[in-house]
């Protein structure tokens, strides 16, 4: 006897780097890369998520592994739709009696056309209704910030493609900016540095591993080291070098400075009363890149405002979609854009 699965609500954090899916009562059920592998010969999707990511940089000419989202917005509509369809099928099985209601995250700075595209892609992928909520609001809800209170709260959400900085009060965004800089640009800076200094080429995954293992926003007295394998640009053969953590810190300074400048910009546009609230309560850091060592300290030191990393920063946005799903009627009235 086949077990029937009735999943009526699904929350999706549609990220440039990873897509996370939340089902009420079950929590985060999928956390996979936003990557789709397509066979050019048959023009069809052959793998999504982890399986497709394994193919990045390793595919023959007839297979293309692509990331359908760029800087938090849909770069390839058809591929995004295929990816959403795959994830929705994964959570509710192919025998769906109910098309689920879906809540999706979108960057605060997206245009109305980009917003429409996300809603349309979700409906075509099998959602009964799709609601989009701005990422900083979801991150704040997921981080446990009381967004409906009459006081200013500041959230800094640093994802793979974008950094979204917003001041939230009374359930809405008072001032926000987003910068097209996030984990991907930081990885790229590490990769460029290693190419320049050691003349070896490394892949995106290796650059990300360096960032996670020895990356730090502030130079350390006691340095850490890591062996890195890549391809020698002179001879073309595999080569191993040892990279120190302070080189990584130096390599990513420009990207971090860009994020800090956007935080300053948001603070400069904030009404004085709300500024006082933020000085008092501090800023909250969320998103996968919030896990970069000492990033909170660098921000506190540069801006002179306390900065804290949220619990499970990489899951704040998707947890936010979960909380919105559980109180859908309340949020429909206040913070959502719907079809």
pLDDT in the model for residue 71: 75
Kindly state the average pLDDT of the residues 165-183.
91
Q: Within 13 Å and on the Cβ side, how many CA atoms surround 199?
A: 6
Residues 294 and 166 in one domain: yes
Residue 56 in any domain: the answer is no
Residues 103 and 203 in one domain: no
Query: pLDDT class for 338, splitting at 50, 70, 90?
Result: very low
Q: How many domains does the chain have?
A: 2
Task: Return the structure tokens found at 133.
Answer: 């909520």
Residues 115 and 229 in one domain: no
DSSP state at residue 323? H
Residue 111 in any domain: the answer is yes
pLDDT in the model for residue 3: 44
Mean pLDDT of the chain: 89
Spatial separation of the C-alpha atoms in residues 204 and 190, rounded to whole Å: 9
Spatial separation of the C-alpha atoms in residues 236 and 230, rounded to whole Å: 10
Spatial separation of the C-alpha atoms in residues 174 and 26, rounded to whole Å: 33
Residues 290 and 332 in one domain: no
Spatial separation of the C-alpha atoms in residues 256 and 254, rounded to whole Å: 5
Residues 239 and 114 in one domain: no
Residue 39 in any domain: the answer is no
Residue for token pair 């050019």? 40
Task: Return the structure tokens found at 126.
Answer: 């099998």
Q: What share of the chain is helix, strand, coil (3-state, %, to 5)?
A: 40, 30, 30
Residue 63 in any domain: the answer is no
Task: Provide the H-helix boundaries in 125-244.
Answer: 135-142, 183-198, 204-214
Bridge-based pairing of strands 153-158 and 163-169 is: antiparallel
Residue 65 in any domain: the answer is no
pLDDT in the model for residue 99: 85
Residue 287 in any domain: the answer is yes
pLDDT in the model for residue 335: 63
Residues 185 and 130 in one domain: no
- pLDDT tens per residue, range 249-265: 999 999 999 999 999 99
Q: Note down the domain range covering 91.
A: 9-34+70-137+317-338
Kindly state the average pLDDT of the residues 314-333.
89
The CATH number for 21's domain is 3.30.420.40
Confirm if 41 and 61 have CB atoms less than 8 A apart: no
Residues 27 and 113 in one domain: yes
Q: Within 13 Å and on the Cβ side, how many CA atoms surround 224?
A: 15
pLDDT in the model for residue 42: 84
- pLDDT tens per residue, range 4-41: 456 689 999 988 889 999 998 889 999 999 999 988 88
Residues 282 and 332 in one domain: no
Q: 197 — phi, psi (to 5°)?
A: -75, -40
Spatial separation of the C-alpha atoms in residues 207 and 7, rounded to whole Å: 38
Kindly state the average pLDDT of the residues 288-312.
95
Kindly state the average pLDDT of the residues 292-306.
95
Picking from 158, 101, 143, 67, the residue whose alpha carbon sits closest to that of residue 318 is 143
Residues 79 and 19 in one domain: yes
pLDDT in the model for residue 97: 64
Residue 41 in any domain: the answer is no
Residue for token pair 């099928």? 89
181's CB contacts (< 8 A; 6+ apart) are 162, 163, 255, 258, 259
Residues 223 and 125 in one domain: no
Spatial separation of the C-alpha atoms in residues 309 and 258, rounded to whole Å: 19
- Considering only residues 238 and 60, tell me which one the structure prediction assigns the higher pLDDT: 238
Picking from 162, 133, 172, the residue whose alpha carbon sits closest to that of residue 317 is 133
Query: pLDDT class for 339, splitting at 50, 70, 90?
Result: very low
Residue for token pair 């909520």? 133
Measured in whole angstroms, the distance separating CA 218 from the mean position of its chain's CA atoms is: 22
Spatial separation of the C-alpha atoms in residues 165 and 143, rounded to whole Å: 14
Residue 183 in any domain: the answer is yes
Confirm if 56 and 204 have CB atoms less than 8 A apart: yes
Kindly state the average pLDDT of the residues 230-258.
94
- pLDDT tens per residue, range 124-151: 998 999 999 999 999 999 999 999 888 9
Neighbours of 216 (CB within 10 A): 20
- pLDDT tens per residue, range 43-63: 888 889 998 888 877 777 888
Global pTM reads 0.89
Strand pairing partners for 243?
Answer: 226
Residues 74 and 223 in one domain: no
Query: pLDDT class for 300, splitting at 50, 70, 90?
Result: very high
Spatial separation of the C-alpha atoms in residues 271 and 273, rounded to whole Å: 6
Kindly state the average pLDDT of the residues 224-243.
93
Kindly state the average pLDDT of the residues 87-103.
79
Report CA-CA distances (Å) from 280 to 44, 276, 332. 53, 6, 31
115 three-state secondary structure: helix
Residues 156 and 89 in one domain: no
């Amino acid at each position: 006897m086949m077990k029937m699965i009735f999943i009526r609500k699904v929350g999706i954090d549609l990220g440039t780097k990873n897509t996370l899916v939340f089902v009420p009562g079950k929590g985060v059920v999928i956390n996979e890369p936003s990557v789709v592998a397509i066979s050019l010969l048959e023009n069809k999707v052959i793998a999504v998520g982890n399986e497709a990511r394994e193919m990045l940089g390793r595919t023959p000419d007839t297979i293309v592994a692509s990331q359908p989202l760029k800087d938090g917005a849909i770069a390839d509509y058809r591929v995004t739709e295929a990816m959403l369809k795959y994830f929705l099928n994964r959570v509710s099985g192919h025998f769906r009696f109910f098309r689920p209601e879906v809540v999706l995250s979108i960057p605060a700075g997206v245009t109305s056309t980009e917003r429409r595209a996300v809603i349309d892609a979700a409906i075509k992928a099998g959602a009964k209704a799709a609601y989009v909520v701005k990422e900083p609001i979801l991150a704040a809800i997921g981080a446990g910030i009381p967004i409906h209170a009459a006081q200013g709260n500041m959230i800094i959400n640093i994802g793979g493609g974008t950094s979204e900085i917003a001041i939230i009060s009374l359930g809405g965004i008072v001032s926000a900016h987003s910068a097209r800089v996030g984990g991907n640009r930081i990885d790229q800076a590490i990769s460029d540095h290693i190419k320049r200094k050691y003349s070896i080429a490394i892949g995106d995954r290796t650059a990300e591993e360096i960032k996670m293992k020895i990356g730090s926003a502030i130079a350390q007295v006691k340095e850490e080291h890591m062996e890195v394998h890549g391809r020698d640009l002179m001879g073309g053969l595999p080569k191993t070098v040892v990279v120190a953590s302070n080189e990584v810190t130096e390599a990513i300074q420009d990207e971090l400075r860009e994020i800090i400048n956007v935080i300053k910009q948001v603070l400069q546009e904030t009404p004085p009363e709300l500024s006082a609230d933020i000085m008092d309560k501090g800023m909250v850091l969320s998103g996968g890149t919030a896990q970069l060592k000492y990033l909170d300290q660098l921000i506190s030191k540069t801006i002179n405002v306390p900065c804290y990393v949220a619990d499970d920063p990489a899951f704040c946005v998707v947890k936010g979609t979960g909380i919105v799903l559980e109180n859908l009627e309340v949020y429909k009235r206040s913070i959502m854009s719907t079809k």
